[in-house]
Structure 1
Amino acid sequence: MDGPVVEVSHLRKTYGDKVAVDDVSFSVRPGEIFGILGPNGAGKTTAVETIAGMRRADGGTTRVLGHDTQRDPGAVRDRLGIQLQEATLHDRITVGEAVRLFAAFYPRPADPDDLLALLDLTEHADKQFRNLSGGQKQRLSIALALVGNPEVAILDELTTGLDPQARRSTWDLVDRVRATGVTILLVTHFMDEAERLCDRLVVIDAGRVVAEGTPRGLIDGLQADRTVVVRFAEGTAAPARAVLDRLTETHPDVHGVAPGSDGEVAVTGSRRVLFAVMPALAEADLVPDDIRTVTRTLEDVFLAVTGRTYAEQDDEDEPALATEGDRS
C-alpha cells in the first residue's frame, strides 16, 4: 500500500492513576523493521497491544493498513501477525502440530512446511513444545506470528532470555522474514538489538517518546564529546600523557585527558579530537601500540535525552493483557 502501514497519533493509555502510554506518535513505512526501544516498564508492550486492537486506548488513534484498530480490530486480524511476550503452548503439542493448527485459523495461510524451513524448524517438527530450547521456542513463536501470511508482524521481546548465539541466530531470522516482504514492528529493551535490526525507531521512556530516527542518525546527532583511547608500551605512557595533557591547554578540540590501565590514556574532545592527538604524538616521536575511538551507542542517546543511564531491566512491570475490561 501507499503511505504508512502503521500510524499512531497521540496514543494514550492509563490504568487508574498510572499513565502507561503518554502522547505517543509515530508511523511505519512498508518493508521497514521499525523499533520501539525502551527499558522494561516503559510502556512498549502496552503501546503495541493497543495498536493491534488488543487493548482500548484512552486517547489518540491507531491505524494499521489503513484501518482504525480501536474501532474495528477485526479488519486487520488476518493481515497482522503478533508474537507476544510470555506466549506459551501446551507442553505436548509438537512444532509441526502447532503450525498446522494455527494455519487452520486463516483463510490464506502460509505453507507450514515452507515456514518451518524458513525458520530452521524442519528437523524439530516432531519435537514437543516442552522439549524445545529457548531459541527454538522463539523461532516457533515467530512461525506462529507469520502463519497467516501477514503484511505486518509485531515481535515483542523475542530474544529475552536467549544466550548470545541464539540471539544472533534470531536476528538473522528477522532479516529473513523482512526479506519476504513483511513489515516488522520490533519491541525490545536491548540497545544492541535495536542498532543491529532497526531501520528506524522510537525510544520510549516512562510512556513517552524521547527520541526518534535511524539508529545511526540518533547516534551521529549527539553533541557529546568523542573519546580516543591510546595505549603505549611500558615506559612511554608517562611521557605520552604529558604531551597529551598539554593539548588541553593548547588545542581547542581537546577537552580532557585521563590515564587508564595497562598504559592506556583516554583523550576526550570534539569530533576532531583524533586529528589533534596524532600530530602531537608524531611530533614527540611517540608511537602507540594501539589506538581506538570509543564507539557511541544508543545508550549514549538515552543518557543525552533523559539525563540518566539506561537500565535494560526495570522493577516495574507493565499490566498483564488479561486485565479485566481492557480487551476490545
Structure 2
Amino acid sequence: MTNSIIEVKDFRKVYGDFVAVDGISFDVKQGEIFGLLGPNGAGKTTILESLEGIRTPDGGTLRVGDVDPTHEPRKLRNMIGVQLQSAGLPESITAEEAMKLFCAYHDTAPRFDLLERLGLAEKRKAQFYELSTGQQRRLTLALAIAHDPQVLFLDEPTAGLDVATRVELHALMRELQANGTTIIMATHDMAEAEEMSDRVAILLNHKLATVGTPMEITATGAGLTKVSVHTKNGCLTNPTAKIPAVQQRKAKGEYTIMYSTDIGQTVTAVIAHIKTQNDTLIDLRVERPSLEDRFLEITDYKHGSQGGA
C-alpha cells in the first residue's frame, strides 16, 4: 500500500459564516481501510460528501484516483460506492427492485448474489420499510458494492446494528479489502475504528488533530498503561512497596492495579519486588491505552487549550 488513491490538500468548506472544514490535508493509500473520527460537527460527513462529488470545496483540492470529484462526476460515479447513514430509498421499493435500479445506473448486471451473501435472499420481494434496521443497512451496503467500486465510502456503517450483523459487516469489509477495495469510513465507534482501520484521522474543531495507525496514535500522548497484578501472598498491597513510574494505584479484589507512565520500568520492578518478598506471581496483565482513551485525551486537551485562550 504505497500509492495514494485519495488525496485531500488544504481542503476548506464553509456554509455562510460557518466553517465546516478548515484547511485539512491527508491521503488514503490504495487498499487500506481509513477511519475518519471526530465529535459531531467536526467535518467528517462534509469531507465524505465532497469526495463523493456531492459538495463543492471552497478551497484546496480533492482527488479520487485520477478524478476530480467536483468537475468529473460521471467518471467518478463508477469508481466509488457509497453507503450513507440514511439510505434515502423509497419505502415501497423492494430489495430486488433496488438492486436492479442501482445496477442499471452503473450499467452492470444485477448482483442478486450479494443479497444472498448478506442474508437477504428471502427478503428479495420485501419492501424497504418491512426490513429491520440491520437488513436495511445490509441492503444499502450490497447496493454500494454491486458495481465493484475501487473506493467505498461508509458513513457510520454499523450504527444501530446488533452484534451479529456488525461481525458480518466487518467480515465483508475485510473481504472487500483483500480484493483490493479501498474503504474510507466515518465512525463514532472508537473500538470499531481501532479494530478495522489501517490508519485513522482524528478531526476536531474542523481541523485535523492527528493522523496515523491506531497503534501510533495510542503510543503517543500522556495515556497511562494499566498493570494488574495478582500474587499468592499479596505483597504489592503493602503501601510501602515502591514501584517506579506509577502515577495511580488501587486495589480491586485480589488484584493490585497500577497506572504507569513507563511500562518497562514498572513491570521489571514488580517482578523483582515479588521475588524479593518470596511471593508467587499468579497473574499479570498489561493493557495499553485504547484509541478511545487517546481520542478523549486529544479532545479534552484541545478543548482545554481553547477554553483558556
TM over 0.5: yes
Q: Tell me what 2:160 maps to.
A: 161
Task: Give the counterpart letter for 1:247 in structure 2.
Answer: K
Paired residue total: 301
Contact kept in structure 2, 1:257 and 1:265, CA below 8 Å = no
C-alpha spacing 1:182/1:223, structure 2 compared with 1 (3 Å): same
1:228 aligns with 2:227: yes
State the superposition RMSD in angstroms: 2.4
Q: CA deviation at 1:223?
A: 5.0
| Separation in 2, partners of 1:67, 1:290 | 55
Residues 303 and 309 of structure 1 are in contact (CA less than 8 Å); yes or no, is this contact kept in structure 2?
no
Number of the residue aligned with 1:214 = 213
Structure with more contact order per residue of length (Cα contacts < 8 Å, sep ≥ 6): 1
Contact 1:12 1:58 in 2 (8 A): yes
Q: Does 1:144 align with 2:137?
A: no
* 1:159, distance to aligned residue in structure 2 (A): 0.7
SS of the residue corresponding to residue 14 of structure 1 reads: strand
Partner residue in 2 for 1:291:
284
AA of the residue aligned to 1:154: F
**Distance of 1:158 and 1:203 partners within structure 2:** 17
- Amino acid of the residue matched to residue 299 of structure 1? E
Asked whether the equivalents of residues 302 and 309 of structure 1 are also in contact (C-alpha less than 8 Å), the reply is no
Matches within 5 A, 1:1-328: 3-107=3-107, 109=108, 111-222=110-221, 224-231=223-230, 236-237=233-234, 239-242=235-238, 245-248=240-243, 253-269=244-260, 270-272=262-264, 273-308=266-301
Matched letter for residue 217 of structure 2? L
Q: Which is further off, 42-51 or 87-96?
A: 87-96
Do 1:203 and 1:209's aligned partners in 2 also have CA atoms closer than 8 Å?
yes
Task: Map Cα deviations across residues 97-142 of structure 1 (whole Å, 9 max, x no partner).
Answer: 21111111112x2541232234332233233222222221111111
Correspondence for 2:306: none
Quick one: structure 1 residues 241 and 256, their matched pair in 2 at CA, closer, same or farther if it must change by over 3 Å?
Answer: farther
**Unpaired runs of at least 5, structure 2:** 304-309
Q: CA deviation at 1:263?
A: 3.0
SS in 1 for 2:4: coil
TM-score between both structures, scaled by the size of structure 1: 0.84
**8 Å Cα contact 1:14/1:21 also seen in 2:** yes
Give the whole-Å Cα distance in 1 for the aligned partners of 2:290 and 2:245: 21
C-alpha distance in 2 between matches for 1:302 and 1:165: 26
Return closer, same or farther for 1:308/1:47 CA change in 2, 3 Å cut-off: same
Query: Percentage identity across aligned positions?
Result: 37
Q: TM-score, normalised by structure 2?
A: 0.88
> How far apart, CA to CA, are the structure 2 residues paired with 1:209 and 1:190?
18
CA apart distance, 1:69 = 1.4
